[in-house]
């Protein structure tokens, strides 16, 4: 019911506004949920944040307990302004950021676009944030003893400051290290973002020599037990993917986030003229879905069970989340589906996912990780994706 109300009443109004304006209004609306305990409790009740029958979608990954496998992807809450509110909406974990060592503004506007026919977004924001130190201070305050807990694991994504030249590897490494030093003490895990298409040259950091220098330096800075992951692009060739995964294995990272947004513009329902007018940027949402499943499957096959795999890309329904899990993802994340599906979409997907796990005959969703069968659905379950809910 909440999804219908959002789709028929609220979303059309929000979509009359520029995307960045709508995003800021949503953050304002979440203010009372963040700061007032009884309002937060009401949203938890609406979301039903235990999500699924018998805790079937709760899991333990990297030594952390996740009440749901469905988390929020990096990029939505760049400065840790609304962690308690977002957790109350039903997300099982949050990836905050991406933040950089130095504060920086967004790339020039317009920098965020909706592809409504594809239920997709294109962004070229370029890591706008208040700086890693400011995010860390805010999270430290949120987690201060006596405060209401967030209640879910929190990851922080770090990236390269725009002013640091990408061809100066030593400077790039030092910049990432500064961001890591600022946030690692307040994060349950840190994600190294080397795959955004919106910072010039950043994706070159996925090349083997560059990745080895960067990730080795960060691994050396991490204390024992601190969890370090890397976020990779969906546009890597087979050889490039093998290069970066070989570094993950060699350095001993704790996980891989697959994937970031894509620079590809293939198979879109949006007209070519509209896509061309939008120009450069990272595309997210359903057009990325199958590529993300494929990358997750390859990451799991290459690295085995030693590392955590977080699947991201095009999740709008429980079936999409399950496809990533069966391809090998321990956890999944959504962003664009949250924008199109509404504030309680993570909770709805969690509830539906619990039912799919039950239908698959599994006691827990962790039993299905890496058990891809066809479209990633339980045997005997009819896929709805061709007629998936488009309310």
Residue 388 within a domain? no
* Residue with more model confidence, 1 or 172: 172
Distances (CA, A) of 312 to 139, 218, 325: 24, 23, 11
pLDDT at 10: 79
Query: Please, which pLDDT band fits residue 13 given cuts at 50, 70 and 90?
Result: confident
List the one residue out of 126, 146, 127 whose CA is nearest residue 135: 127
Which residue out of 161, 196, 292, 345 is catalytically annotated?
196
Indicate if the pLDDT at residue 106 is higher than 70. yes
Q: In what order do the strands lie in the sheet with 282-284?
A: 112-115, 120-123, 282-284
Domain count, the chain: 1
pLDDT tens track for 259-274: 999 999 999 999 999 9
Residue 161 within a domain? yes
Dump strand ranges (E) for the chain.
59-61, 64-66, 70-72, 94-99, 112-115, 120-123, 154-158, 189-193, 227-232, 255-258, 282-284, 308-312, 331-334
pLDDT at 16: 87
Indicate if the pLDDT at residue 380 is higher than 70. no
Helix (H, G, I), strand (E, B) or coil at 284: strand
Per the structure, the complete domain to which residue 344 belongs is given by 2-366
pLDDT at 23: 93
pLDDT tens track for 140-190: 999 887 778 899 999 999 999 999 999 999 999 999 999 999 999 999 999
Q: Which residues contact 379 (CB under 8 A, 6 or more apart)?
A: 360, 373
Residue 114 within a domain? yes
CA dihedral 17→23→24→28, nearest 10 degrees, is 110
pLDDT at 3: 66
Q: Is 196 a catalytic residue?
A: yes
pLDDT at 389: 39
* Average pLDDT score, the chain: 92
Residue 373 within a domain? no
Indicate if the pLDDT at residue 77 is higher than 80. yes
Cα angle value 272/275/276 (rounded, 5°)? 85
Strand 70-72 and strand 64-66: the pairing is: unpaired
Produce one character per residue of 305-328: b if its CB has 16 or more CB atoms within 10 Å, e if not: eebbbbbbbbbbbbbbbbbbbbbb
pTM metric for this prediction: 0.93
Residue 379 within a domain? no
CA atoms within 13 A on the CB side of 77: 29
Query: Please, which pLDDT band fits residue 7 given cuts at 50, 70 and 90?
Result: low
pLDDT tens track for 286-321: 999 999 999 999 999 999 999 999 999 999 999 999
End-to-end CA distance of the chain: 11
Q: Which residues contact 267 (CB under 8 A, 6 or more apart)?
A: 287
Q: Which residues contact 236 (CB under 8 A, 6 or more apart)?
A: 206, 244, 295
pLDDT tens track for 27-65: 999 999 999 999 999 999 988 854 444 589 999 999 999
Distances (CA, A) of 114 to 2, 57, 110, 278, 335: 22, 31, 11, 10, 13
pLDDT at 260: 98
Query: Please, which pLDDT band fits residue 8 given cuts at 50, 70 and 90?
Result: low
Tell me the CATH number at 28: 3.20.20.70
pLDDT at 55: 86
* Burial of residue 246, with CB atoms counted within 10 A of its CB: 0-12 exposed, 13-18 middle, 19 or more buried: middle
Indicate if the pLDDT at residue 388 is higher than 60. no
pLDDT tens track for 236-295: 999 999 999 999 999 999 999 999 999 999 999 999 999 999 999 999 999 999 999 999
Residue 79 tokens, joined: 């400065």
Query: Please, which pLDDT band fits residue 12 given cuts at 50, 70 and 90?
Result: confident
Distances (CA, A) of 167 to 27, 127, 172, 305, 319: 36, 19, 8, 35, 42
Q: Which strand (E) or helix (H) includes residue 11?
A: helix 11-14
Residue 377 within a domain? no
Cα angle value 254/300/225 (rounded, 5°)? 10
Instruction: Decide if 47 contacts 343 (C-beta within 8 A).
Output: no
Percent of the chain with pLDDT over 70: 91
Strand 331-334 and strand 308-312: the pairing is: parallel
- Residue 238: left (phi > 0), alpha (psi -120 to 50), or beta? alpha
Residue 378 within a domain? no
Taking residues 340-351, report their average pLDDT.
95
Residue 384 within a domain? no
């Amino acid at each position: 019911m909440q999804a219908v109300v959002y789709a028929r009443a609220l979303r059309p109004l929000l979509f009359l506004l520029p995307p960045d304006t709508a995003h800021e209004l949503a953050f304002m609306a979440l203010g009372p949920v963040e700061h007032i305990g009884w309002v937060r409790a009401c949203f938890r009740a609406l979301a039903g944040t235990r999500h699924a029958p018998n805790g079937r979608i709760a899991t333990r990954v990297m030594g952390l307990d996740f009440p749901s496998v469905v988390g929020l992807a990096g990029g939505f809450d760049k400065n840790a302004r609304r962690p308690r509110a977002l957790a109350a909406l039903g997300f099982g974990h949050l990836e905050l950021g991406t933040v950089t060592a130095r504060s920086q503004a967004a790339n020039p506007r317009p920098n965020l676009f909706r592809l409504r026919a594809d239920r997709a977004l294109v962004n070229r924001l370029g890591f706008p944030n208040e700086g890693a130190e400011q995010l860390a201070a805010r999270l430290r305050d949120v987690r201060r003893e006596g405060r209401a807990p967030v209640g879910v694991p929190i990851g922080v994504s770090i990236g390269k400051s725009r002013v640091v030249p990408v061809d100066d590897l030593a400077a790039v490494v030092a910049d990432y290290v500064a961001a890591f030093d600022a946030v690692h003490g307040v994060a349950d895990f840190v994600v190294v973002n080397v795959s955004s298409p919106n910072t010039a040259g950043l994706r070159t950091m996925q090349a083997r020599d560059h990745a080895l220098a960067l990730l080795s330096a960060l691994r050396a800075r991490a204390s024992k037990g601190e969890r370090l992951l890397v976020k990779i692009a969906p546009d890597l060739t087979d050889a490039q993917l093998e290069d970066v995964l070989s570094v993950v294995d060699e350095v001993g990272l704790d996980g891989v986030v697959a994937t970031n947004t894509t620079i590809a513009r293939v198979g879109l329902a949006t007209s070519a003229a509209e896509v061309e007018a939008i120009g450069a940027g990272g595309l997210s949402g359903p057009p990325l879905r199958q590529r993300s499943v494929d990358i997750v499957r390859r990451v799991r096959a290459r690295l085995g069970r030693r590392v955590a795999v977080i699947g991201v890309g095009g999740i709008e329904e429980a079936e999409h989340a399950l496809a990533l899990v069966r391809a090998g993802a321990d956890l999944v994340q959504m962003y664009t589906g949250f924008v199109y599906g509404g504030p309680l979409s993570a909770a709805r997907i969690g509830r539906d996912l619990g039912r799919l796990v039950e239908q698959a005959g599994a006691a827990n969703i962790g039993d299905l990780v890496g058990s891809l069968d066809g479209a990633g659905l339980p045997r005997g379950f009819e896929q709805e994706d061709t007629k998936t809910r488009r309310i």
